[in-house]
Structure 1
């Protein structure tokens, strides 16, 4: 067995080395290209007194720059625009609904798709500007994506907090050609920045640690852009979120405990219905994976979701979640990004354990934040956590938040991530030099 593991690591390292040699030459001229692109944006700024910012979005799941968008709306230097593009995951079927979401919520938004949900050219009608992407994969029309990313200043804010290595390991995302072509990757923390420096063909020279814009609303504990009440219950019941991950069947790379605990937690919701109001907050991809699972399928999956949607003591939440978190009492989950995002609330959390998800999948940053959580290995520990929330007897060790507090002190207390990003862009195009 040790020999097999050693060989596997050697093969992985060999492939990564080949990639670096192959693409290092391809990316040699990227920095020079970016200089020319920044000059065009600078000229556009001098002509119009605005820096054009284009947020390219193909799913609400990957929209992690809401606070950055609204901060730019308030700043006279910036002219932000949301550009909705179709996703190859659903063949563009979700694009109209996504556009409707942004339009109904008063964003400055345009469509980059036709009535059939197919991509249309957006470059011809847009002035020089900075493009933000939240999707590092090939989930957008490839020709349009490649054209934009190679001919414009492109930035990437990760769509999750990157506290785990479950998405293909530490070398997958850093070594895509899209990521290596980015002008800037705005990193949430130092751990993942070091991973990029080790594995990326460009050695992470385009990475900058700024914190994570997606948690700014939770950090500030305000509801400036979340005006609608999200909890059905107005009683004194405790409000607990159950948020399962989608990675069922991933083996050693799986965070998910849904197959292990789903029915049992449903039973606990019935048992504690007079004391707890529940929110079922599944990962957006969970339903699709359950449809394809031999023990679940569409009928059983739909019935499970409908249970959470239909009881007087439960609700189904599949959209934005800042308000949901801020007005909850606790969370039970096995997700990646939520490890950190919910910890920002300071409220109690229980992390559900499977045989793999705490064995090598947490990076050092994730390990530090995980100290703030209780852990649930079985149904008895889950119910004990619920009882401690209901009875207000949950014990919190302040010292276990020291790692997270140090991180907050470094990247949020004195200057927010959005402010850092805006400052660097403005500086790079010469808007702060006048």
Structure 2
């Protein structure tokens, strides 16, 4: 039986008890007779709902309801001839209490859960939670594939849009539903999950406000928050999802405290568990047979560096314009080392729509990498293969740094200007990592890795211990358990 139906029937049984209590104390004979008839209709509706869920109930529950119906008919007849005694109603109330006990004990509940999935690169944020719900016999789980897009207004009011709508789930063995085949208002799931907080990149039907009308909305961040600043406060505490989410899954007490200080709900809907996206990195073992032949040919028997670049060139986040071409040139001239370039998955869309003046630079950089003998462009939905194949990470200020920490491999953070992000309170102590403020720092890092020098391991382990204490590989299971427990409190 669906949990939502269980709650309705439970409420109906409570109402039935209240009706009988009123009849017992009531002096209006005509009203009491009508209430008896209304109660019979009430029980008939409950019976129909139970019989529609035969596999979820016991015979003794149906039998008890039939017994109550017989007693109500009996009392109705006695009301007609004026011979009802109060003590007899005590017996009826006791019988209703028996139904309530049987209903709580015998009904097999099924929780209906839906995950709204968009970019393949974000699926890791929900995967372990999905796996945990799928393992349960009392859960029916669906995944809805939703589009993500960017739009920009061109001259004469023309809107240019780039839409990403890719079924990457079927390849993973996950059945999924196209977004236009899923009617949330009809399905009415008990819990709905999203990982995208931005309304401007998805359809209105998948905005937090509209999802929350039909289900208990749970927001699981697709990235690890690195610091507290004006931008992170705005994204975490001021977007509509902070108001409409039934629960927000939080990486730490510090993030919850940010909600307490800045969000409208003052953190009351925040659940601190750590992020499910960390689970896969805690025990990730990638089989080498997943590596394609191009990667094997270009990267085998070399020190391999993973370069993670961001598209936001107008902020302190991206160093693509500062270091991008020089990094590519460095690897072009040194074939004893190899490069996996994994640009942010939205880079192509951003340069196409919003920064067309840099589109040629972007395309030329990709072309050089793809035509080289020791560099590959990583466009896989998952970064697992790149993490496994690489020996070290060179990265813009990005939450991928946090994921890479779990590999225990060296990390170099590329800085722009005076630092990665100004005026921040660190949530993840990236300042403890090796930093590059110029090209010489990058070259020095690469040289040390080639020599097997890694003087920063203890600091990286300190970051995990201090800032990611919930990372135990079981966060998805914990999220599943806690959310169902909170749902059950309402039963």
TM-score (norm 1): 0.78
CA separation of 1:42 and 1:52: change in aligned 2, threshold 3 A? farther
Question: How far apart are the structure 2 equivalents of 1:38 and 1:345?
Answer: 45
Corresponding position of 2:484: 426
Change (3 A) 1:201 1:324: same
Distance 2:219 2:227 in 1: 18
Matches of 2:444 and 2:9, distance apart in 1 = 57
Shift of 1:169: 4.0
* Cα distance between partner residues in 2 of 1:345 and 1:58: 26
* Residue 42 to residue 142, structure 1, CA distance change in 2 (3 Å): farther
1:134 to 2:195 alignment? yes
Could you tell me how far apart the structure 1 residues matched to 2:363 and 2:369 are? Answer: 10
Inter-CA distance 70–181: structure 2 relative to 1 (3 Å threshold): same
Summarize deviations over 1:227-265 as a string: whole Å, max 9, x none. Answer: 722643462211111111121113xxx311111001110
**C-alpha separation in 2, matches of 1:419 and 1:227:** 29
Higher normalized helix content (fraction of residues): 2
| Unpaired segments ≥5 residues, structure 1 | 1-34, 114-119
**SS state at 1:261 partner:** helix
Give the secondary structure class of the aligned counterpart of 1:171: helix
1:67 and 2:128 correspond: yes
**Does the C-alpha gap of structure 1 residues 379 and 429 become closer, same or farther in structure 2, counting only changes over 3 Å?**
same
Give the 3 Å change call, closer, same or farther, for CA 213–342 of structure 1 in structure 2: same
Distance in 1, matches of 2:147 and 2:108, equals 30
- Asked whether the equivalents of residues 197 and 204 of structure 1 are also in contact (C-alpha less than 8 Å), the reply is yes
- Equivalence for 1:94: 164
Q: Which residue of 2 aligns with 1:402?
A: 462
1:160 corresponds, among 223, 227, 232, to: 223
Aligned to 1:352: 414
CA–CA distance in structure 2, aligned partners of residues 235 and 132 of structure 1: 40
Q: 2:349 aligns with which of 288, 294, 316?
A: 288
Give the Å deviation of 1:40.
6.4
Which shifted more, 379-388 or 137-146?
137-146
Kindly tell me: are residues 173 and 227 of structure 1, through their superposed partners in 2, closer, same or farther at Cα, counting changes over 3 Å? farther
Distance 1:242 1:234, change over 3 A: closer
- CA drift of 1:166 comes to 7.0
Paired residues of 2:188 and 2:214 also in contact (CA < 8 A):
no
Give distance in 1, aligned partners of 2:375 and 2:9: 50
Q: TM-score when scaled to structure 2?
A: 0.70
Is the CA contact 2:6–2:109 (under 8 Å) kept in the aligned structure 1?
Answer: no
Indicate conservation of the 8 Å contact 2:434/2:456, yes or no: no
Q: Does 1:236 align with 2:236?
A: no
Q: Residue 237 of structure 2 contacts residue 259 of structure 2 at CA under 8 Å; is this kept in 1?
A: yes
Q: Verify the 8 A CA contact 2:128 2:477 in the aligned structure 1.
A: no
Shift of 1:69: 1.7
Task: Give the distance between the partners of 1:223 and 1:75, measured in 2 at CA.
Answer: 26
Q: What does residue 175 of structure 2 align with?
A: 108
Shift of 1:362: 4.6
2:214 is aligned to 151
Deviation for aligned residue 1:356:
5.1
Offset of 1:86 from its aligned partner?
2.5
CA displacement at 1:53 relative to structure 2: 1.6
Match of residue 256 from structure 1 = 318
In the superposition, relative to structure 1, how do residues 74 and 350 fare at CA in structure 2: closer, same or farther (>3 Å)? same
CA gap of 1:362–1:349, structure 2 versus 1, over 3 A, is farther
Change (3 A) 1:307 1:75: farther
TM-fit CA distance, 1:81? 1.7
- 2:149·2:162 contact (CA, 8 Å) conserved in 1? yes
Give the C-alpha shift of residue 152 in structure 1. Answer: 1.1
Q: Provide the rounded CA distance (Å) in 2 between the counterparts of 1:306 and 1:40.
A: 60
User: How far did 1:417 drift?
Assistant: 1.2
| Structure with max Cα Rg | 2
CA RMSD of aligned residues (A): 3.1
> Alignment partner of 2:233: what SS?
coil
Aligned counterpart in structure 1 of residue 241 of structure 2, from 178, 184, 187: 178
Verify: 1:188 aligned to 2:247, yes or no: no
| Deviates most, 144-153 or 340-349 | 144-153
Q: Deviations over 1:347-378 (max 9, x none)?
A: 00000011254343653212x2442x211111
> Would you say the 8 A contact 1:72–1:422 is kept in 2?
yes
